[in-house]
Structure 1
Amino acid sequence: MSIESTTPTTKIKIKYCTKCKWTNRAIWYTQEILQTFSPPTISEVSLVPEIINPGTFEVYISRTHEELLYRRKMKQDFGLSEKEKKVTYEGFPDAKLLKNLIKQKLEEWDSISSDVVGEHLSRGVGTLLNDGGVDDDDYNDEKDCIECKKEE
């Protein structure tokens, strides 16, 4: 029997705003994920450019169903469900934070061993975030980012 038929496939999807010019950031996260989680742990990482909803940056993980793993907080976040509030953060994640969120979800699903994932991830989630270069003084409450504001 092949590995593919016995191991459930795990997929990561990164949705990002193209108007905000977050393509390179999404590609960098993809590289970090693929270097940390070797197949068959993660079978696919996909990039989904978002044009309709400016300011979007979300990371989804799926095996049997898709779950929101990380969501960048936007100024106009109203009516979020409790589940969405748990995965909404200020700014962008440090690579270590994002990889630890993935690791925790995988462990929740099937208790993967620490030798599949690098030892450097086993020290806790951490809280490293950055703001993506958006200065609070330049941040308009009605807009999601400086680049989206320039586009309008």
Structure 2
Amino acid sequence: MSAESDSSEFIPPFASGNRITIEFCDRCRWLHRATWFQTELFLTFGPKAVSSITLIPWMSDDTAGRFRVWLWMEDEKETAADIEETGSGKKPVLVWDRKSEGGFPELKVLKQRIRDYVQPGQSLGHSDKKDENDKKT
């Protein structure tokens, strides 16, 4: 076995940059919803704006009904060693909490909130348009 294929020598890659965490109640069967949001966010922002999106399924009584989206903002000085030592260089931003917001986010609202942090001023195309109900008469 060569040194290149020895897994004991392998160091996993570090995802520097903005990171998103989606935590959800697995007992509520929200895995598909979480993966759908994950896919849509990756398609919208790409790796330059969002380097990773982590899904965390919860199954305890404390986390029943939970669906939260967190954003960890890039710190240009942050390194893999910093994250390993402290957990993260910065505190995350809670972008959405199903319990406090009264439900799941509309995808366009979630995209707008994340965009406002990672790419302010960036157009989201049709996701920036207001609903008919939002327009003033």
Structure 1 length-normalised TM: 0.59
SS of aligned partner of 1:93: coil
- Kept in 1, the 8 Å contact 2:112–2:124? The answer is no
**Match for residue 105 of structure 1?**
117
Q: Structure 1 residue 46 and structure 2 residue 54: aligned? A: yes
Assess, with a 3 A threshold, how the Cα gap between structure 1 residues 122 and 103 changes in structure 2: closer, same or farther: same
- Kept in 1, the 8 Å contact 2:95–2:114? The answer is yes
1:124 positional shift: 6.0
**Match for residue 90 of structure 1?**
102
Matched pairs, number: 101
**Runs of 5+ consecutive residues of structure 1 not aligned to the other structure:** 1-7, 74-87, 129-152
Q: State the alpha-carbon separation in 1 of the partners of residues 42 and 48 from structure 2.
A: 11
Flag the structure with larger Rg: 2
Deviation >4 Å, runs of 4+: 124-128
**Match for residue 59 of structure 1?**
69
Give the number of the structure whose residues are more often helix, by fraction.
2
1:3-152 paired onto structure 2 within 5 Å: 9-52=17-60, 53-63=63-73, 64-73=90-99, 88-107=100-119, 112-114=120-122, 118-123=124-129
**Runs of 5+ consecutive residues of structure 2 not aligned to the other structure:** 1-15, 74-89
Q: State the alpha-carbon separation in 2 of the partners of residues 127 and 68 from structure 1.
A: 26
1:89 positional shift: 0.9
1:66 positional shift: 1.1
Q: State the alpha-carbon separation in 2 of the partners of residues 21 and 9 from structure 1.
A: 30
1:119 positional shift: 2.6
Q: State the alpha-carbon separation in 1 of the partners of residues 22 and 133 from structure 2.
A: 20
Letter matched to residue 117 of structure 2: K
1:67 positional shift: 1.5
1:105 positional shift: 2.2
- The alignment-based identity, stated in percent, is 29
Structure 2 length-normalised TM: 0.64
Q: State the alpha-carbon separation in 2 of the partners of residues 11 and 127 from structure 1.
A: 32
Q: State the alpha-carbon separation in 1 of the partners of residues 105 and 24 from structure 2.
A: 13
How big is the alpha-carbon RMSD for the aligned residues of Structure 1 and Structure 2?
Answer: 2.5
1:65 positional shift: 2.6
